[in-house]
Amino acid sequence: MDENITSANGASLSIAIIGITGIGEITAGHDLGLTIYEKAMAQGTPVQDGDIIVVTQKAVSKSEGMIVDLDTITPSPFALGISKTLNKDPRLVEVVLREASRIVKMDNGVIITQTHHGFVCANSGVDASNVPGSSSVTLLPRDPDASAARIRARIQDLSGRRVAVIVSDTFGRPWRMGIVNVAIGVSGLEPIADLRGSADAFGKTLKATEIAVADEIASAAELVTGKTRGIPVVIVRGYPWSFSETGSSKSLIRPKESDLFR
């Protein structure tokens, strides 16, 4: 692989996004860290120092057994009422409500909720795609940061390399068409690059610039993982990320006091 091009100040001007193939179907109890390490090695792209491993939420949820069979769900009267209004499966509505801390908006057949994690997203992150069985849905990991930390620790133990891990998921965007991947779990890197107080190219002081690095990496990784390619993990190589043992996806959630739309 060619070495990264660097700018005059040494910053990387190129990155590589490497899909890890051959992972196959993931089931409860699957050792994701081991599989990532072995499959990366097998395809000739072993884990290196400084790699960022991006793992899709679906892979993590499956490995943690976060799958619900809708045939086992009895909808509440509240869920039944919503399902009639929105023309949705009442069992699915019930699961969405159980995973929500509050309902943000319901319209046009869509339920926007805030999850127990603090994420604002459609259907509390409950999803039926890429799951075996006609009545199965996945839930978000209970603690995506902890999930990322476990995968990172396993990969580092096996490889002896220092890496970061991001758990990614697909979110819609207000005022913009199309969906993008964002970081719902982070371990090993600082998810936000705070440039406030820095000077721009013309010497002006930046006053409000905070770059959601983890979200941008997750979004870039989705160009390789896709939704139909069967590639649930990628390596992002060459990005000069800031190491942090305390980095958390929680710092990407806008606090209520600074949210203009609550």
Going from the N-terminus, what domains does the chain have, and what CATH number goes with each?
16-65+141-251 (3.30.1330.100), 67-137 (3.90.1660.10)
Q: Nearest 5°: phi and psi at 259? A: -95, 115
- Cα separation, 221 vs 39, whole angstroms: 17
Candidates 189, 186, 187, 170; CA nearest to 232 is 170
Q: Nearest 5°: phi and psi at 44? A: 85, 15
Q: Are strands 52-56 and 164-173 parallel, antiparallel or unpaired?
A: parallel
Q: What is the pLDDT of residue 43?
A: 97
Q: What tens-digit pLDDT sequence spans the chain (262 residues)? A: 344 444 445 566 799 999 999 999 999 999 999 999 999 999 999 999 999 999 999 999 999 999 999 999 999 999 999 999 999 999 999 999 999 999 999 998 899 999 999 999 999 999 998 888 889 999 999 999 999 999 999 999 999 999 999 999 999 988 899 999 999 999 999 999 888 888 888 888 988 888 999 999 999 999 999 877 889 999 999 999 999 999 999 999 998 888 887 7
Sign of the Cα pseudo-torsion (175, 176, 180, 182, in order): negative
Q: How far is CA 92 from CA 74, 175, 180, 259, in A?
A: 10, 26, 23, 29
203: left (phi over 0), alpha (psi -120 to 50) or beta: left
Q: What is the pLDDT of residue 9?
A: 54
- What is the secondary structure of 23-35 as a DSSP string? -----TT--HHHH
Q: Nearest 5°: phi and psi at 223? A: -65, -25
Q: Nearest 5°: phi and psi at 231? A: -120, 95
Retrieve residue 4's tokens. 């990264």
Total Cβ atoms within 10 A of residue 86? 16
pTM summary value:
0.92
- What is the secondary structure of 116-164 as a DSSP string? TTS-EEEGGG-B-TT-SSTTEEE---S-HHHHHHHHHHHHHHHH----E
Candidates 115, 63, 125; CA nearest to 92 is 125
Retrieve residue 44's tokens. 């000739």
Sign of the Cα pseudo-torsion (149, 25, 41, 226, in order): negative
